Amino acid sequence: MTEQLTRRRFLTVAAGGATMLAASGCGATYDVAGGFLGPASGANNHTLIYWNLLSGGDGAHMQSMEAAFRKANPKVALDATVLEWGNPYYTKLAMAIRAGSPPDVAIMHLSRLPGFVPAGLLDPYDPHLLAAHGMHPSDFTPLAFRKAQFGGRQMAIPLDTHPFVQYFNTKLCRKAGLLDSSGMLRPITSPDALLTVLRKLKAQKVTPAVCDQINDPATPWRLFYTLYSQAGGKVLADSGKRIVLDRSLSLKVLGFIEQLAKEGLMNSNNDAGGGVSLFSDGTAALYWEGEWNVDVFQAAKLPFSMQPFPTIMGRKASQADSHTFVMPKQPHADPERTEMIYSLIRSLLGQSLTWAGGGHIPAWLPVRHSAAYRKLKPESNYESVADSAVYDPSAWYSGSGSNLENYAGGAIAGVMTGAASPAAAYDEMHSALVSLSTQPDPV
């Protein structure tokens, strides 16, 4: 009877198991033993594990770049995984490193390095190896390359700079008389000038500007931080231990944002998807966001162009970040694998023109300064921003998709939707910063 019982139990589960195995069988080379013995054992030395958070339009470009690498390197099995953008990605990456089996190479935002480097979670690059693979410091956007250095060691290799920019619908703007002879918007150099432009567009019965506020704290943060930095403001000091957020400057910027929302010059009830829709179907004339949506609008055959966000508050500054390649700290050194990593990075950098098609400014100067890139319109319109980019304040709790962006962005979004006053938003931002900066530093 025990036999009957065991048999029955096994049959049910085996039936399920057989179905699954049959379904999954083909092509899945699987290492069940490795599952029991641990990842270090029997590791396939020719598999390169590469993590990134590039979903969406630019993700497609990265995948074709990966395909090109695979074609040129048939002996290397490149295992690329796309994970969700933001905190989930970085949490997973940190945990994987702590768990002792991280990916071989990963994409990391430049602004996130302070949360990883001090804890020793990343391996530095070897300048000799870099040179041997054809990568020299002079080949990269200086600002990004320098920011990836900690204690004299190169901790990340920048792939691009992706700033906050202004998309504009050329048809609608021409009708409002805002374009110059070359088809670019005439320069807007002060808050009043921007208000004038927006009011002119509003008179044309179009939505003047769109900048996401709902369920998207990053974009409001980018808008605020761009204007605030143009006015010369700083947010943090001492690697995030001191808050230097200036109250009157913040209120000035937030007040301007409030005015845009109140006067109906900026849409106040859309999320990221809604923002894309509003601009791509021609409802909105201006769209303020990172440059990575260029593919979507080109596919929609929209008459549009792009340019740096107008400098209206003083100096040239645009909030930006950079995707970089980092090498998570490995439990055992493996020179063969390291060679493959450098090869992969060099290969992807060499395909920066493809990458630029997704909207990002290549950090690889041979491409960035090339004629082919300059011909890439509208992507090359804002190329100069790479040198005046303002990265998120440096702190372990800061960076793209971090708690700082989430808390501060949430507060700023309140002003954009009309749910909060500038003073209330400032207080919320400030107390969030206090809370974040006084937490014991886990790195």
Partner 1 sequence: MSTSAVPAPAVRDARSRTRHSRARGFTGFGFVTPFLVFYVLFLLLPLVLAVVFSLFNTSLALPGLGRWEGLHNYGELFRDSYFWSSMWHTVLFTLVSTPVLVVVSFLLALGVYRRRHGQWFFRLAFFLPYILPSAVVALVWLWIFEPGYGLADGALHLVGLGAPSWLGSTSIALYSIVLVTVWWTVGFNFILFLAGLQEIPQEVYEAAEMDGASRSTQVRRITLPMLGRTVTLVTVLQIIASLKIFDQVYLMTQGGPNFSTRVALEYIYDTGFTSGRVGYASAASLVLFVVIAIIGFAWLALVRRQERGV
Partner 2 sequence: MSAAAVRSSTAGRRSRPLSQRVFPHVITGVMIALALLWLAPVLWAIDTAVKAEPDTIKIPATWAIPHLTFSAFSTDFSASDIGRWYINSAIVSLLVTVFTVITASMAGYALSRQRFRGQNLLYGAILAGIMIPPQALMVPLFREFQAIHGLNTYWALVLPQVPSPVAVFIFKKFFDGQPPELDQAARMDGASWWTCYRRIALPLSRSAVAAVSIFTFVWTWNNFLWPFLSSTNTPMMTIPVGLGTVIPGEGITNALVMASAILGALPLVVVFLFGQRQIVEGVAGTGLK
Residues that bind partner 2 (CB under 8 A): 1-2, 4-5, 8-9, 12-13, 15-17, 19-21, 23-28, 30-32, 35-40, 49, 55, 57, 59-60, 63, 79, 81-84, 88, 92, 95-96, 98-102
Distance CA 323, CA 411 (A): 26
Question: Would you count residue 397 as binding partner 1 (CB under 8 A)?
Answer: yes
How many CA atoms within 13 Å lie on the side-chain side of 207?
22
Phi, psi at residue 202, to the nearest 5°?
Answer: -60, -40
C-beta closer to partner 1: residue 87 or 421: 87
Cβ proximity to partner 2, 63 vs 154, nearer residue = 63
Q: How many residues sit close enough to partner 1 to count as binding (CB under 8 A)?
A: 29
Specify the residue, 69 or 225, whose C-beta has the smaller distance to partner 1.
225
Give the Cα separation of 201 and 188 in Å (integer).
Answer: 14
Q: Give the one residue of 290, 308, 399, 410 binding partner 1; rule: CB under 8 A.
A: 410
> DSSP secondary structure string, 181-246?
TTSSBPP--SHHHHHHHHHHHHHTTSEEEE---BT-SHHHHHHHHHHHHHTT---EETTTTEE---
Each residue 81-120 as x (binds partner 1 by CB under 8 A) or -, in order, gives -----xxx-xx--xx--x--------------------x-
Phi, psi of 165, rounded to the nearest 5 degrees: -130, 180
Q: Where are the alpha helices (H) located in 392-421, listed in sequence order? A: 403-417
- 163: part of which helix (H) or strand (E)? strand 160-169
* Cα distance between residue 188 and residue 165, in whole Å: 14
Of partner 2, partner 1, none, which one does residue 113 interact with (CB within 5 to 8 Å by kind)? none
User: Taking the complex as a whole, how short is the minimal distance between the CB of residue 8 and partner 2, in angstroms?
Assistant: 8
Contact partner at residue 182 from partner 1, partner 2, none, CB < 5 to 8 Å by partner kind: none
Beta-ladder partners of 321: 162
Among partner 1, partner 2, none, what binds residue 443 when CB lies within 5 to 8 Å by partner kind?
partner 1
Residues forming the site for partner 1 (CB under 8 A):
86-88, 90-91, 94-95, 98, 119, 121, 214-215, 217, 269, 271, 273-274, 277, 397, 403, 406, 410, 413-414, 435, 439-440, 442-443
